[in-house]
């Protein structure tokens, strides 16, 4: 494999792991979806 192919494979594996962890956190009730407009407002408020 070339270096580029190795990096691409690593990114795919990392993304898969991250997505699986996030899905599990949603199923466990540890995470939730937030409306995008509310998320932006919360971010603005946290840095003000």
pLDDT of residue 16: 95
pLDDT of residue 48: 83
What is the pTM (predicted TM-score) of this model?
Answer: 0.59
Residue burial 24-46, b: 16+ Cβ < 10 Å; e: rest? eeeeeeeeeeeeeeeeeeeeeee
The tens place of each residue's pLDDT in the chain, 48 residues long, gives: 999 999 999 999 999 999 999 999 999 999 999 999 999 999 999 998
pLDDT of residue 39: 95
What sign has the CA pseudo-torsion 14, 46, 40, 44? negative
């Amino acid at each position: 494999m070339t270096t580029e192919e190795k990096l691409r494979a690593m990114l795919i594996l990392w993304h898969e792991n991250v997505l699986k962890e996030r899905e599990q956190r949603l199923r466990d009730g540890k995470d939730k979806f937030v409306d995008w407009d509310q998320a932006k407002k919360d971010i603005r408020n946290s840095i003000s």
